[in-house]
């Protein structure tokens, strides 16, 4: 059974006003949403704020969602638009920078210098390309799901993945053959 088929009864119930059904949808998809927003925004605190705003917006727009829709892609699309709005507005620029500097971004396995190089390389990517890379390479979205979530043509998503991956590998000093 596909994730969309599993979500369909919950979507119908939430559209009927069931807060419990919507809570189950949130439970199923909020971690993926938060992970995507953290990568796209580059700031964990801001990403968590945007995730909350996204979920509130989703609740108010649940009636517009087709029951066979990809809920995760729908949520990431709403979150991406909120991220764009926030980054363009600059309202929280100082707070974002301070939060990011004080956050602990440790992840097991990678050397600290590799993590820092990867974070710098991600930050240097254009926002749209960074969002595509975060979805397709880090969150394991298909190209089609990323295109749907971000409202981009499939070909654009594919080219962003190719170019973004190449830039990240260059930043880490890794060739395309894994060296």
CATH number for the domain harbouring residue 144 = 1.10.10.10
Tell me, yes or no, whether 161 and 81 share the same domain: no
Which among 74, 103, 132 is the end of a domain?
A: 103
Residue 116 phi, psi (nearest 5): -65, -40
What pLDDT, on the 0 to 100 scale, is given for residue 93?
57
Same domain, 143 and 83: no
Give mean pLDDT, residues 104-121: 70
Inter-residue contact 72 to 3 (CB < 8 Å): yes
What rounded mean pLDDT belongs to the chain?
A: 86
pLDDT of residue 179: 46
Q: Do 96 and 113 sit in the same domain of this protein?
A: no
Choice among 19-23, 31-35, 90-94, 114-118 with the minimum mean pLDDT = 90-94
| Per-residue pLDDT at 52 exceeds 90 | yes
Same domain, 73 and 129: no
Query: Coil, strand or helix: which one is 109?
Result: coil
* Cα 152-63-25 angle, rounded to 5 deg: 80
At residue 28, the pLDDT reads 94
DSSP 55-92: HHHHHHHGGGS-TTS-HHHHHHHHHHHHHHHHHHH-TT
Kindly state whether residues 8 and 92 are assigned to the same domain: yes
pLDDT higher than 90, residue 162:
yes
Mean pLDDT, residues 106-115 taken together: 65
Q: Please say which residue of 85, 103, 121 terminates a domain.
A: 103
- Could you read off the pLDDT of 69-96 as tens digits, one per residue? 899 999 999 999 999 888 877 655 556 5
| Final residue in a domain of this structure, among 61, 84, 103 | 103
Domain that holds residue 21: 1-103
112 pLDDT tier (thresholds 50, 70, 90): confident
């Amino acid at each position: 059974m596909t994730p969309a088929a599993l979500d369909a009864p919950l979507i119908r119930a939430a559209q009927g006003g069931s807060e419990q059904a919507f809570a189950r949808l949130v439970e199923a998809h909020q971690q993926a949403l938060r992970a995507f927003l953290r990568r796209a925004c580059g700031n964990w605190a801001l990403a968590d704020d945007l995730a909350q705003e996204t979920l509130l917006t989703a609740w108010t727009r649940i009636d517009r969602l087709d029951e066979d829709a990809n809920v995760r892609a729908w949520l990431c699309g709403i979150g991406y638009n909120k991220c764009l709005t926030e980054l363009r507005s600059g309202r929280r620029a100082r707070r974002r920078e301070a939060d990011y500097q004080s956050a602990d971004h440790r992840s097991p396995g990678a050397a600290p210098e590799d993590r820092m190089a990867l974070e710098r390389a991600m930050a240097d990517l254009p926002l749209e390309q960074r969002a595509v890379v975060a979805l397709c390479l880090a969150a394991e979205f298909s190209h089609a799901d990323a295109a749907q979530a971000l409202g981009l043509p499939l070909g654009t998503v594919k080219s962003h993945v190719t170019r973004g991956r190449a830039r990240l590998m260059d930043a880490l000093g890794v060739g395309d053959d894994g060296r």
